[in-house]
Structure 1
Amino acid sequence: MRKLPNKISGLVGLLLIMKSAISIAQTSTFLPLQPEKLKYAQEVESEALAKKDTLLMAEAYYLYGKIHVAAHDYLKAKDYFMQSLRIMEKHRDLEKIGRLYLYLSELEILQARNTEALKYGRLAFSYFQRSGSPKRIAAGYHRMAAIYIVIYKSNVHDNLKKSLHDSVLYYCKRGERMAYELKDTMSIADASDRLGDFYRYQKSRRALNYYQIALKCYQVLGHKHNEALIMQKLATTHLAMSQPDKAYESAKEAETIYNKLSIRETQTEKEFAAFFEEYYRGKKDWQNAHKQLKILFDIERNQLLADRDGAVSRLAVEYETEKKEVQLKNQHNELELSKQIQQNQRRFLAALSILFLVATVATTVFYQLFRKNQRLSQQNATLVREQNHRVKNNLQLVSSLLSLQANRLTDEAAKTAVEESQLRIEVMAILQRKLYDGDQLAMVNMSEFIKELVGIALQSFGYEQTKVDYDMALSLLIAADPALRIGLIVNELVANACKYAFPKNPNPIFGIACTLQNQQLTLKVTDNGPGFQGVENRKNQTFGMRLIQIQVQQLKGTYRFKKEQGSIFEMECKV
């Protein structure tokens, strides 16, 4: 009877713990860093270090800050902006100092810290006025208007409403006038957007007119993200004016545009959920209203889990204290930043050390080597760049450690189990490499992925000369999570074929077909072996068969084994 090999119980526990650790890491609300922009920022930083150009280093910090804002990692974003600000204040570049304060103000608004946002906004506006740049001054008016609108919306004291009303109107109108004088489409869109917000909170129909102006500007500029946000605001305004049908139409159009974008914003998704909850409640569609309310609750819960206001406040206090007490040298700032990055990496590796004791020793040795070579600036820069790739390389490190462990084992069953575990980890490593090296963000080319993992598996079992028939489109792209699960399934089937189908077969043949149509993925794996028997007997199922079942269940798919001139595995799932 043919069946997949049994695995030792300790390895089962190890893989389950690995899955749990990966799941915990995936709960982070941070988005992936934009690879192209990150690469450019790293190139600017390397050039700055080579030339010892502090202004160029300030630009690199500024670029890193913008990248982390897009990833919703506001703590690191503020840290980078502060590093850039330290350098720019020494060089008295008024326009760039104002630009940095503008981004700091935006960070505070994103975290609902209105007082801090207003402080940074006033500083940005002051520097822009002193720089004399009309375009920057207009941007300062838009920022001040946005801050006052947020404060105006959240303020409940009638005695302050009049004062805030005048401030909002003053900055909005001045910004609008300058935008039209400059004939700057983007600036006109910003001014109209601010005025639309202001009149929307006053429940005035004038909000619709201003939003329409902003919408046309963003459409001309091709800014799909801003177009979706304006459509969302139009929907909210229509709903407030008892026009539910128009509101729903605008909201669905906004949602369609937003879902096509590669970025995700928590606040935007909250506003979508809040709008649809209010709309369905007005329609007395309580079931859908409850669903939207649950979505809104989940988003807000995740926001609380990611809340790091205390850390951001500490960073701001440290900067103000440091600024008053002493002006540190630029090189010292760079080294301190490197230490902070290494400390963060060390905390992450310390958590992994609980799972992998051998990895702890390797990480400690690596860190000690880094500390010894820290005095040499070029080696320090090289190690910093290596640390940026540590997450990518962790899986490869685990695979190597398992290989070393397998070489030390004398028990053949344990050695086989460890080697098979190494193959599963190699599947994850291949996927990570494809994600890192590929042009598509969070998407995997299944043709390249499957061919590489099949080649490695065959080589591991000594069947690298085996004929493999592939039937896959060259541009078959799917998301990373289902790709990993499909890769684990294919790996198990290849290993199974190498053990039971090929040894007594003078002409082993292996085939893989994978197609995707209307989000329905079909996978077919064949070999010319004797076929599977007893795969549905749960009492005698091996770990490999159980692993295949678990992956198919996670994909919410169906599978079957057949015997037709060999062994056939077929699976269908949505991706």
Structure 2
Amino acid sequence: MVKNLNKQLIFTTITILSTIFCYAQLIDLRKKNSYKKVFVDTDNFGASYLDILEVALPKIKTDTIKFSVLNDLAYYWHTRNLNKALHFVTQGLKITQEKNDTLWHGKFQITQGAILLRMEKLDSAFFVLQEARSKVRKQDLPKLNTELGYVFERRGLLAKAADYALEALRLGEELKNNRVIALAYSDLSNLFWKQSKFDEGLEYGLKSVALFEEVGINDLDYDFTLYVVGNNYLALKQEEKALNYYNHAIAIGERYGFYNNLSDIYISLTDLNAYLNKFDQAVWAGENAIKYANLLDNNFLLMRSWLSLGKAQNLEGKYLSAIESLQNSIRIATPNFGDNYYLSQAYNNLGRAHAGNHNYQEAYAAFAEYDQLRSKIFTAEADQRISLLQTEFEVTKKENTIKLQEIEIKKQKLRESLIFVISGMLFIVLALIYFAYQNIKKKRVLLQKQNQEKEFLLKEIHHRVKNNLEIVSSLLALQSAQMEDKKMVDVMLHCQNRVHTMSLIHQKLYQRNNLSKVEMKDYFMNLCQHVLDSFGSNNRIAAVCDMEPLEVDIDMAIPLGLIVNELLTNAMKYAFPNNKKGNIFISLTKRNKNNYSLIFKDNGIGFDEKRQALGTGFGTQLINLLVSQLGALLINRVRMEPQY
């Protein structure tokens, strides 16, 4: 009895000493910089770090340090207990508002957005993150964009999520912050994995891991990246490598108490063990995933945990158990789950379970739901957008390099002029100035040569983008040739015209000397010719571009081209029925520096608002979105009087 008591006393003493040591290591109120910020300045602590910060919080007198500790408490509690995290962030928002500290109020809003996101309050998360944008500094924007990307990823809008990931990447490179760049690469890796592009996902994931390890801090995002790399390895059937990354991620998650990551990892371990026919271990991993999801009280993780368990039971042939698990998953997800990717997987596996149990009617219904959800996720738009976004990012970087080179050339020319003036005034040092001039001249020639090479490369990129878009258009044409449904053929034709509209922009760019602007009159004429050809209306419809040659930026040219394409398509379909002849008039004029006017008229049968719409309305939706993107105003449709 005494022996056991001594052991207990020794253990208690060690625990107290360990806590005191960790407290002193993280917070020392005697020092000016009293807080060694967790996962920034140090990661040398254990799972009790949140309790240590909570004990120290009331003793801190300096506002900025107190805000920093309170924000970390709010953010890292969201990996364990969302309600407690919400309590701390609410406290931070209240204090910063009372003290009128806008900057820290915005930082707390970013943390609030992360918490609301994981509480499945996606609209609220989006609102507070957007509100924080105007309050925080530039170095806080990558984190804000990352959280916004997660909101759209949870909604199943992968293309929009990629937009935010690439914006975070751009900011990271501008700020020269390797940790921000690493997190952006991690998010892109996860998005590529969701699009089933596992090679690209693995490439970005390994780049992210390398940068995180260069920073040298084991944190929540590094832990998540290890899990994402494991997912890509598992999808590529490299199970041993996947398991190594999962085990590494589990070690970090258990050390710091990252329940959200642990649930994610155990979900993937369930899939891995089921794939290897280790069904007992798969069930064990699935139960662990459910345990951590329940601890966190997170429906997103809980839904996916039941999904992984149902998939494993399907592979083992336990179809009744699989049906129960998968129905649990779907019950948790509906009706406002938002992430169609995982919901589609749940219905797909439920269909297989019902089929295995010979419930063919239920299986058919589940597969029908799966097909409907899958068509929303794996769209050509999302696939092309993610690929094109990376291309656009690289093109922008090259354009910036060219501009810098041009500025450098101008500086060199200014130096030459200065040398000429000095040479006239200081004849004595003419020889020295002459040699300096020769050196500068060589540099200028070299810069011009480099600039020409960059221009050539940029033209080549535009050429390749144009060729790729033409290939997409050709594929759409081949696909439509196999279709018998006229509506689907029409949809494919419209998609071809939209792709061609963007392709034509890139063609105009690489054919001209100015790589950033498009001449719109020639572009409109070519676009009209293409659309009239596609509808076989060259002989009966005349398109007139009554405007002066006008150059606009590519950012404006693409939306304008798509708007005119939609208007032309609409006119071809509805304005001239029964092979009626007619005219279409297009003009674009520049009123002042930032004010343009686009006019589109036809002398067809006109638009009757009382008449029921003939099409799907997607063209009108697209026009309204593009007009909003340009910050413009859509006045009305104008009909020309028939010419007799």
TM-score normalised by length of structure 1: 0.49
From the CA coordinates, give the structure whose radius of gyration is larger: 2
**Larger RCO (CA under 8 A, 6+ residues apart):** 1
TM-score normalised by length of structure 2: 0.45
